[in-house]
Structures are given as C-alpha cells and as structure tokens.
Amino acid sequence: MFDDKHSLFLQAMDRYRGKVSNTLLAEIKASKTAVEALYKIFEVMISEVEDTLSGYLIVNSAVELGALKLLET
C-alpha cells in the first residue's frame, strides 16, 4: 500500500487537501454573496486550526520541510 514514509506522507496530504477542499467548496456554494463566501472560508480555516492541537497540517508541513531544506544547504 505504501512504499515508504514519503509516499505515505504524500497520500495523507492528498486526502487531507481533498477533505478541506470539499468543506470549503460546500461553504462557498451555500453562500449568497462573495463577502459571505470569504467569511466562510476564513471561518473554516480558523476552525480547522482550533479543532486540532497540531494546527493546520499543510502549513505545518510546509514550515517543517522548508526548515529541513535550509538545513540541507
């Protein structure tokens, strides 16, 4: 199923991105105005951070991988 840790990580990121994207699209489609849609986007993103102790998976991963890349150079 998973060849290595890297492929597991990539599949987890794809699944997470899909979950967040589906939630955001549902909120946008339910909005009556662009302002309401923007409000809902921020609301979803904020609740995502508040609901998890580890914070926002994609942002945390980008920060960690960016720091790792700096250490490698």
The pLDDT tens digits of the residues spanning 6-20 come to 788 888 888 878 887
Confidence (pLDDT) at 25: 92
The residues spanned by each domain of the chain are 8-72
Q: What is the pLDDT of residues 33-53, one digit of tens each?
A: 999 999 999 988 788 766 665
For residue 67, pLDDT over 80 is answered with no
Which tops the pLDDT comparison, 23 or 51?
Answer: 23
pTM beyond 0.75, yes or no: no
Nearest alpha-carbon partner for 44 in 21, 63, 60, 18: 21
